[in-house]
Every structure is written in C-alpha cells, then in structure tokens.
C-alpha cells in the first residue's frame, strides 16, 4: 500500500532519529530556564522538535513542558501523545543504556520502547502521510511530553495553554488496544521513631529508584559495638541467604556493617515479575532486629503484612474484577534513626473506587502510628468495545497484522489517562517481552517500522473516518 511504501523509504532515517533521542539521558533533574524537568528531558524535547522540523513539520515548544509537530487542516485535532522522559537506567545492562547500540536487529537503550522509539515512529508515520500527499480532514499533532514517569504534570500545563485533542491515542503500552486501565496511587507511608532501644542500631535503610519500579537494590547500615555479635551477624546473613535464596551480602564499612539486598527490577504495575530487594531486606531485619521499639514495629508491620506478596491480600486491601487483581508494590525506602518513609504504588481494578482499598488501608496503618503522605491518584480509564475510537483502531490493527484485536486491560498507567478520548495503542506486540523500566530495554527494528506503518494508518483513519 502507498503509505507502507513511504514508511519503508524512511526506514533508515527513522532508525537514526530514534537513536538520536535515546542517546540523551532524559531522567528528571533540577529545573532550569526553559527546562522545568531538568536538562535531560529538555534536551530530548529540543532534539525531537529539531527532527520534526527536518521532516518539514510546523513545531512548537510549549515553555519546555510539551512540544508538538503539527500537520494538516481542520477545526478538530487528532493527538498522538508520547513521552521523552525515562526512568533511571538501573544496573545489569549488557550494552550502555544511552549509546543506542544496534545488535541482532535491535536498538538497545533506555526509552527505546518506553516511549522514545514509538513516538518517533508515530512522527514518521505522519511524515509518510505528508509524503503520500493524502488529505486530512482534521489536523494532527504528535505531542512530546517530558514528565510522564514522575507525575505527568506537564500535560496539565499543556491543557491550560494549548488545544486539547478531539480524539487520539498514545503509543505507551501493548497491542492490540488498551480499553481499560486500573486506577493508580503513588504515596509514602511514614512513621516517626520516638521509642528507641537495643544493642544493634539501624543507622539507615535506602533502596529503590521510583515507587513505580520494583526495587533491584537496597542496603542498610548497622552499628554493632560487640565484636562477637558482629561476627554472629555476618554468619546470620549467610544462613538467611542459604535458607531463603535471597541475594544478600554483608561487608564491613568504617564503623558499620552494611547489608546489601539484590533483587530484580520490573514495572510497578507488574510487581510479581520482579524480586523486591527492599522486602527481602526487611524480612531479614525483622528476624535479626529484636529490640522493642518504633523501628522494630515499622519493620515488623511491613514484614508481616506485605512480605513478598504483590496483591495486598494479607494487608486486607485485595480487589479483583474482569480487568485483573489489585497490585501492591513497595518501590522505595528512606529510613534513618529518626523516621522511616516507604514509597508505595497500588493499582486497583476499574470497577472499584479509591475508597474501596484506601479506607481499609488507612484503618490498618493508624493503629501503628503510620501515616500517608504525598498521595497521587489517577482514577481508572474505560472505553466500551463499541466506542468509535476502539472500533477504528481495531480495524487498523487487524488489517495491518492479520491478527484479531483482542482488547486488553492493564495495571500500567499510560498517557491516555491525561487527555480525554485517548487510549493506549502499542507499541509492544503480543508475544514480545515487555522491557519497560527493565535493564536491556530494546526495540526490534522490524517492530519499529511496523509501528510506524500502523500509526500512519491509524492517524489517517482517525483524521478522516470518525
């Protein structure tokens, strides 16, 4: 088909453009003039807009929050929304996470699938429409966000200053189509330590990068003045490791004994796919730290009520419907001798309300002097299967892949929640690994090109048929 041929002609340029943006480390940083989320996201935005300008599109940088490339005419607007910011790279990479190296037909790097590769593919899909000379009845904007991984606050800014899309999609999840997304909460659970005792002092516990990531590393510093007890502790780490299979290590550092817990990272929406380094360490500490104080109560509470569970059953907040189970992820911990704070990411099925799990959650923690701080909440998203947007994207997917468009419900939060009349559409094909937020993230070049073709057809249909 004509559009597909134009995408094929753009293949090499598309690959190099994806590599160009992946090479920028666009994790959130300190604000700078014109770069509200730091230099990394700001540079990635500038780079994406320069690519769009090279392709002949009208572009705009909305004060460093969002940028867009626009094409076509009409009163209404089709939006394709992707993000250029990324989560921290973490450890365990085979190839450097920001070198965008190509091996075995795959581009490796943080953001290749989440979300730099797909949104650049959508940009080139629009370029194929432009090159083919196809008329559009609606304008199209490829929107580049810069804060999706840490709050999506840039979309609120965009909607205050710019036009909202009439309809659209975000290439921020899986194919075929995400018709339902669980509600998402991210918050801290905090306790002040007033009562202290014991001959072992926990000076600190630190672990995790983001609440929406299963932590792959956590460590604590212990002060043990008795040399015999210190030696006994080193032996206890080895014994606990042998019994549980947890990857725990122990080393002496200055006046402390440092215990290190190694886990396996995964997306916070799928915590059962990872190994939680924080909870491994807390389960160990709950065995060896026997003092009757506030620190012990905090550790014991989470060891007993969470442990290695990822669905909230023991905590008493488990929910389930046709869109799946509630997911419960302990993503970060920052603890010292004065207080403890843990970052949680709980996602709940679409037929339930926020209060259905937060009321029992709050009831449980208040008995232990634990409080909730910094709550962020996104309600669930749902589109009926016969909605015109769902039907249009299903048609495109089936025609382009020859596979039935089975609708999906997910725990992951996508940009679709940030703008009305949007759903998540790709980029990960059925049967392919979901490497978002994981080490060795990559996108297959063949899949990148197929995404560009699918997005070209989807943009054309949404601009002309609905």
Residue 1 pLDDT > 70, yes or no? no
331 to each of 86, 279, 310, 418, how far by Cα in Å? Answer: 16, 9, 11, 23
Strand pairing class (139-145; 77-83): parallel
The number of CA neighbours under 13 Å toward the Cβ of 422 is: 26
Q: pLDDT over 90 for what percent of the chain? A: 86
Instruction: Give the pLDDT mean for 246-258.
Output: 91
The phi, psi pair for 58, rounded to 5°, reads: -70, 135
Q: What is the DSSP string of 162-189?
A: SPPPSEEEE-SEESSEEEEE-EEEEEEE
Confidence of residue 73 (pLDDT cuts 50, 70, 90): very high
Residue 83 pLDDT > 90, yes or no? yes
Could you say which of 85, 172, 434, 447 is catalytic?
85
Residue 198 pLDDT > 70, yes or no? no
Instruction: Give the pLDDT mean for 385-390.
Output: 94
Residue 458 pLDDT > 80, yes or no? yes
Q: Which residues of 106-142 are buried (b: 16+ CB within 10 A; e: fewer)?
A: bbbbbbbbbbbbbbbbbbbbbbbbbbbebebebbbbb
192 to each of 25, 297, 338, 374, how far by Cα in Å? Answer: 36, 11, 6, 16
Round to whole Å and give the CA distance between 185 and 312.
Answer: 14
Give how far the C-alpha of residue 100 lies from the chain's centroid of Cα atoms, to the nearest Å. 20
446 is catalytic: no
Round to whole Å and give the CA distance between 245 and 247.
Answer: 6
User: Does residue 293 or residue 144 have the better pLDDT?
Assistant: 144
Q: What is the DSSP string of 203-236?
A: EEEEE-S-TTB--SEEEEEEEE--HHHHHHHHHH
Which domains are assigned to the chain?
A: 2-181+381-464 (3.40.630.10), 184-378 (3.30.70.360)
Residue 27 pLDDT > 80, yes or no? yes
393-442 confidence digits (pLDDT tens): 999 999 999 999 999 988 877 889 899 899 999 999 999 999 988 999 99
Task: Report the pLDDT value the prediction gives residue 196, as an integer from 0 to 100.
Answer: 72
> Hey, is 293 helix, strand or coil?
coil
Residues ≥6 apart with Cβ < 8 Å to 48 = 21, 67, 84, 119, 120, 123, 144
> Hey, is 20 helix, strand or coil?
helix
Task: Report the pLDDT value the prediction gives residue 384, as an integer from 0 to 100.
Answer: 87
Please name the residue that has the structure tokens 């160990």. Answer: 284
85 is catalytic: yes
Residues ≥6 apart with Cβ < 8 Å to 356 = 319, 348
Please name the residue that has the structure tokens 């915590």. Answer: 271
96-118 confidence digits (pLDDT tens): 999 999 999 999 999 999 999 99
Confidence of residue 62 (pLDDT cuts 50, 70, 90): very high
pTM for this model (two decimals): 0.72
The phi, psi pair for 166, rounded to 5°, reads: -75, -40
Angle between helices 227-244 and 277-288 (to 10 degrees): 130
Round to whole Å and give the CA distance between 342 and 335.
Answer: 8
Instruction: Give the pLDDT mean for 19-44.
Output: 97
Helix (H) or strand (E) holding 158: helix 153-161
Confidence of residue 15 (pLDDT cuts 50, 70, 90): very high
Strand pairing class (177-181; 407-410): parallel
291-345 confidence digits (pLDDT tens): 888 999 999 999 999 999 999 999 999 999 988 899 999 999 999 999 999 999 9
Residue 69 pLDDT > 80, yes or no? yes
Strand partners, 173: 427
Confidence of residue 353 (pLDDT cuts 50, 70, 90): very high
Q: What is the mean pLDDT of the chain?
A: 94
Could you say which of 148, 181, 418, 447 is catalytic?
148
């Amino acid at each position: 088909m004509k559009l597909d041929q134009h995408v094929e002609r753009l293949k090499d340029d598309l690959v190099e453009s994806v590599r160009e943006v992946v090479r920028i480390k666009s994790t959130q940083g300190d604000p700078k003039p014109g770069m509200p989320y730091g230099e990394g996201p700001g540079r990635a935005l500038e780079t994406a807009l320069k690519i769009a300008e090279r392709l002949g599109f009208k572009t705009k940088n909305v004060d460093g929050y969002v940028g867009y490339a626009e094409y076509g005419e009409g009163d209404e607007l089709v939006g394709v929304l992707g993000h250029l910011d990324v989560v921290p790279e973490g450890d365990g990479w085979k190839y450097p996470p920001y070198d965008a190296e190509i091996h075995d037909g795959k581009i490796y790097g943080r953001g290749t699938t989440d979300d730099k590769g797909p949104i650049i593919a959508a940009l080139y899909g629009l370029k194929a429409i432009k090159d083919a000379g196809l008329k559009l009845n609606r304008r199209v904007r490829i929107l580049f966000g810069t804060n999706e991984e840490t709050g999506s606050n840039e979309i609120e800014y965009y909607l205050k200053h710019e036009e909202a899309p009439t309809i659209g999609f975000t290439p921020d999840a899986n194919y075929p189509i995400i018709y339902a997304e669980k509600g998402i909460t991210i918050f801290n659970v905090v306790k002040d330590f007033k009562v202290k005792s014991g001959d072992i002092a926990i000076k600190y516990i630190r672990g995790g990068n983001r609440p929406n990531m299963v932590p792959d590393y956590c460590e604590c510093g212990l002060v043990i003045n008795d040399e015999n007890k210190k030696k006994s502790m080193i032996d206890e780490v080895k014994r606990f490791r042998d019994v549980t299979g947890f990857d725990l290590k122990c080393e002496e550092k200055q006046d402390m004994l440092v215990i290190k817990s190694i886990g396996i990272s995964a997306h916070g929406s799928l915590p059962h796919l990872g190994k939680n380094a924080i909870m491994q360490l807390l389960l160990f500490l709950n065995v060896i730290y026997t003092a009757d104080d506030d620190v012990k109560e905090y550790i014991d509470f989470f060891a007993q009520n969470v442990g290695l569970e990822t669905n909230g059953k023991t905590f008493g907040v488990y929910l389930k419907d046709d869109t799946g189970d509630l997911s419960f992820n302990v993503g970060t911990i920052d603890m010292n001798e004065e207080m403890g704070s843990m970052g949680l990411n709980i996602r709940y099925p679409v037929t339930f309300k926020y209060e259905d799990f937060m009321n029992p959650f709050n009831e449980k923690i208040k008995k232990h002097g634990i409080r909730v701080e910094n709550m962020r909440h996104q309600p669930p998203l749902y589109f009926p299967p016969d909605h015109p947007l769902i039907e249009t994207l299903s048609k495109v997917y089936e025609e382009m892949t020859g596979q039935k468009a089975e609708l999906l419900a997910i725990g992951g939060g996508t940009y679709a929640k940030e703008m009305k009349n949007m759903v998540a559409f790709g980029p990960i094909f059925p049967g392919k690994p979901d490497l978002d937020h994981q080490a060795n993230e990559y996108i297959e070049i063949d899949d990148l090109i197929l995404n560009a073709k699918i997005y070209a057809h989807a943009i054309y249909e949404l601009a002309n048929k609905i």
